[in-house]
């Protein structure tokens, strides 16, 4: 079935909606352009995002701001080792007055859910959350409850503390469409943060008109209509195959650096993010540059490095770049 082409009026509407999101975002988050692009692209692609950074780099603020920009409900879950699946999914409570059970939905039932320090929760709780992410529903007392639409999880993890944490297995990491690594702000940006706090602008009410959840679903539908040529799809497949030691131009010795390459979810993620970036750029088709633009956030958590690569401190991003350099651009 042929997908209906995106019209000029569709592009104009998308641009206006995206500008309204950016305007709200700029009122709360200073700099962090890569974070903004990653969050918006993940939302448009209908995926979930994993954020990694040291504390204090506006991860929570960015999540709250994105929820405000799209008029969505927002819940923050602080993960701890004693957090149980029922604490996030929901539970049944017995009402002694009526002699019956009532269902209390957990905080995962929101449009945007922030899982703060997901690696501090136990494997059982991580599994329950990831199941909700995948199935877009929860099961409480034998009843199935659909999660709101749109639904997006923003999980954070702190890379500098290992005590009391449960490392996310690679198979679970793979379920995140994107993994964004945040860096410290520039000097001028940090001065602007202090200026906003001292003047009260940081906590002032947001001005402007956020978009609606219906607008988000329209944008997501437009992303699905962005044209992906067969040559681009082959390019994506060749890139992912090269991470597995195959592809049209295998990299000699790559098996000494990469133990497990990207799964087919990596191919899907590259294409979906490419479509989201194309729409944001005002195009109705994906270019190779769209595939390359977010290659690190899409693939860095899908490549399992060997012991030698870890011992030599070879970053996953370097391996991703090597793969993109090896595969001819269409």
Percent of the chain with pLDDT strictly greater than 70 = 97
Confidence band, pLDDT 50/70/90 cuts, at residue 165: low
Number of neighbouring beta carbons within 10 Å of residue 273: 28
What Å distances lie between residue 257 and 161, 169, 174, 254, 323, CA to CA?
A: 25, 19, 19, 5, 12
pLDDT in tens, 95-147: 787 778 878 888 999 999 999 888 888 888 888 888 888 888 888 877 888 99
Which of 81, 87, 75 minimizes the C-alpha distance to 121?
Answer: 81
Give the pair of three-digit tokens for residue 278: 């194309």
Q: Please report the pLDDT score of residue 123 as a whole number.
A: 80
Which of 176, 186, 227, 219 minimizes the C-alpha distance to 51?
Answer: 176
Give the pair of three-digit tokens for residue 3: 């997908």
pTM value is 0.90
pLDDT in tens, 176-206: 999 999 888 888 888 988 988 898 887 788 8
Answer yes or no: are the C-beta atoms of 138 and 108 closer than 8 Å: yes
């Amino acid at each position: 079935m042929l997908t209906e082409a995106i019209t000029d009026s569709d592009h104009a509407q998308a641009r206006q909606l995206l500008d309204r999101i950016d305007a709200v975002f700029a009122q709360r988050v200073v700099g962090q352009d890569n974070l903004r692009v990653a969050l918006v692209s993940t939302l448009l692609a209908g995926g979930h995002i994993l954020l990694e950074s040291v504390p204090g780099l506006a991860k929570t603020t960015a999540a709250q701001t994105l929820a405000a920009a799209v008029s969505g409900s927002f819940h923050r879950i602080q993960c701890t080792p004693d957090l149980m699946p029922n604490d996030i999914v929901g539970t049944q409570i017995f009402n002694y007055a009526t002699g019956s059970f009532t269902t209390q939905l957990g905080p995962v039932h929101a449009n945007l859910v922030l899982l703060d320090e997901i690696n501090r929760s136990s494997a059982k709780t991580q599994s329950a959350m990831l199941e909700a992410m995948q199935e877009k529903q929860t099961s409480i007392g034998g009843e199935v409850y659909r999660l709101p639409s749109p639904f997006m999880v923003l999980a954070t993890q702190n890379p500098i503390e290992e005590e009391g944490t449960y490392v996310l297995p690679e198979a679970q990491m793979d379920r995140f469409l994107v993994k964004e690594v945040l860096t410290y702000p520039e000097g001028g940006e940090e001065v602007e943060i202090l200026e906003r706090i001292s003047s009260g602008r940081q906590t002032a009410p947001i001005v402007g008109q956020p978009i609606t959840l219906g607008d988000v679903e329209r944008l997501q539908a437009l992303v699905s209509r962005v044209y992906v040529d067969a040559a681009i799809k082959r390019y994506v497949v060749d890139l992912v195959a090269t991470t597995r030691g195959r592809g049209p131009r295998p990299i000699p010795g790559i098996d000494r650096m990469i133990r497990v390459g990207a799964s087919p979810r990596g191919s899907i993620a590259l294409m979906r993010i490419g479509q989201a970036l194309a729409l944001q750029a005002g195009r109705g088709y994906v270019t190779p540059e769209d595939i390359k633009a977010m290659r690190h956030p899409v693939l860095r958590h899908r490549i399992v490095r060997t012991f030698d690569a870890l011992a030599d401190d070879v970053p996953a991003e370097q391996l991703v770049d090597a793969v993109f350099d090896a595969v001819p651009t269409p």
